[in-house]
Amino acid sequence: MAVIGVISLGCAKNQVDTERMLGLLTGAGHTLTNDPKQADVLIVNTCGFIESAKQESIDAILEMAQYKQGGRCRRLVVTGCLSERYRAELKDAMPEIDVLLGVREYEKLPRLLGASSDAPVCGPQTARVLTTPSYSAYLRIADGCDNRCTYCAIPLIRGGLVSEPLEALVDEARRLIGGGVSELTLIAQDTSGYGIDRYGKPMLPELLNQLEAIDGLHWLRVLYTYPDTVTPELIDRFRANKKIVPYLDMPLQHTEDEMLRRMNRRGDQKHILRVLDYVAEHAPEFMLRTTLMVGFPGETEEQFQRMRQFIVDHPFDRVGAFAFSPEEGTHAASLPDQLPEEVKQRRLSELMQAQQAVSAARNRARIGKQVEVLVEGYDGTRAFGRSYAEAPDVDGRVFFTAKTFPSIGSYVSVKLTDALEYDMIGELV
C-alpha cells in the first residue's frame, strides 16, 4: 500500500470531493501524509473555475511534480475541475502527470493505485476523511447546476443539477455528527434548488426538518441560496428551525436589471429589495452575505456606480466580489464590449472600499451584544472562534479574552466589546 499526499484547491464543494477520495483510499488500505516529501503518490485536486484558479492549479501541479525528482513520489495524480475541463491539454502539456481523472471518476482511484477493483461508489455513502476541524463539516447536497449563467463554466465542467437522495444526506449527516461534528454547513451550486431534479420540487425545507432532528447537531448553516428562490416563506422556515443560524447567503452578482439579464440571472432588483425589506422588518438578527461581480461585458460606469451605491443604501454584512473573467466556452466570453482589465480592477477596488466601511459600521452595531461562539483556537493571548455571524473559511473571527481558555470545539458565551473591519473583539461571559 502507498503513502498518499493530497493538495486540495478551490471551493468547499471541491473539498468534499477531496474528503471522499481520502475516504476511498484509506478504506483501500493506503495511509496519508501532510508532507509531500514522504508521499509515494501525490494527488492534486484542482479548480478550473476562473483564470486565477486555473493558474493556481497549474502551479500546484508543477510544484508537486518536483517531488518525483527530489522525493519519494512515483506517481502524480491530477483530479478535479481542471482535469475534467482540460484533460487533453494537460496530457499533452504536462507529461509529469501520471493519472488524470475527471470529477465523476474518483471511484477509479483505488484500483489505479493498487486495489483489486474500483470503489463501489463515491458519494454521500462514502466514509469521509475530514480536512476541516473535527467539530465542523460541509454537507454537499447537490452537484452541478441548471441555472446557466452566461459567465459560469460550472455546468460545462460538472453538468446539470444532480441532487443527492435526501435519505443518503441524512445518513451522511448522522455519521458526521456521530464522529464529533457539531456544525454542518450545507453547500451546492444552488442550495435552494435542491431536489427539483430528483423530486420535482424544492426539498431544502424537508431536508432541514430532518437534519434538525439529529441529536448532537448544534449549528446548521445554509450557503449559496439563489436569489429568486429566497422568499419570505424560506426565511421564516430558517427562523423556525432552532438549529439553523440566522445567516442568509444570497449571491446577487449584480443589482442592475440589465446586467442581471445579460448574465442570465433569474429575478430582478425589485425582488432583491423585497427580500431585504422583509429581513429588515421580520428578521433583523439575520447576518446578510452576498457576492458581486464587476466588469461584466457592457457594464457602464453608471451601472457600476449604482451597484456600489446599492450596497451602501441596502447594506450587507459581508460582500465577496470579483472581476469578470472571460471563460472559454461560456456565452459571456464572446459578448461585445469586453472591458479592459484596469477598469475591472479599479471598479473592484472601489466596490470593496465602499463595503469595507459598511462592514465596519455593521460590526460596530454589534458591540454590547452577547453571542454564542464556537471556540476554534488561541493566538497566544486571546481565544478566537466564530459566532453565528461568521461562516467558516470566508468570514472573520471573534477574538475574546478569558481567565481560563475554553476547549476547542466548545460553545461559549461572549460579550462583544469592540469591532474591527471584519473581526469582533469580546470577553468571555
Got the DSSP string for 97-141? --EE--TT-GGGHHHHTT-SS--S--STTSPP---S-TTEEEEE-
The one-letter code for the residue type at 329 is: G
Q: Residues 99-126: what's their mean pLDDT?
A: 88
Question: Residue 280 in 3-state DSSP?
Answer: helix
pLDDT of residue 117: 81
Helix axes 232-240, 269-282, angle to 10 degrees: 30
- Give the domains, in start order, of the chain with CATH numbers: 3-112 (3.40.50.12160), 132-245 (3.30.750.210), 370-428 (2.40.50.140)
* C-alpha to C-alpha distance for 304 and 300, rounded to whole angstroms: 6
Residue 264: strand, helix, or coil:
coil
Q: What is the DSSP secondary structure assignment for residue 251, as one 8-state letter?
A: -
* pLDDT value of residue 70: 79
Q: What is the mean pLDDT of the chain?
A: 95
pLDDT at 204 over 90: yes
* Distance of alpha carbon 419 from alpha carbon 422, whole angstroms: 8
- Please tell me what DSSP assigns to residue 253: B
Please tell me which residue, 421 or 285, carries the higher pLDDT value: 285
> Distance between CA atoms of 309 and 304, rounded to whole angstroms?
9
pLDDT of residue 278: 96
Residues, the chain: 429
Partnered with residue 288 across adjacent β-strands are 248
8 Å CB contact between 223 and 175 = no
Beta-strand relationship, 75-80 and 99-100: parallel
Residue type, 428: L
Residue 226: its pLDDT value, please?
Answer: 93
Q: What is the DSSP letter of 426?
A: E
Query: pLDDT tens digits for 114-137?
Result: 877 888 888 899 999 999 999 999
Q: What is the mean pLDDT of residues 372-394?
A: 96
CA distance 253 to 263: 9
Region 176-194 average pLDDT = 96
Place of cell 484547491: 9
Pair 259, 294: CB distance under 8 Å: no
Q: Strands 183-187 and 219-222: what pairing?
A: parallel
On whether the CB atoms of residues 81 and 157 are closer than 8 A, the answer is yes
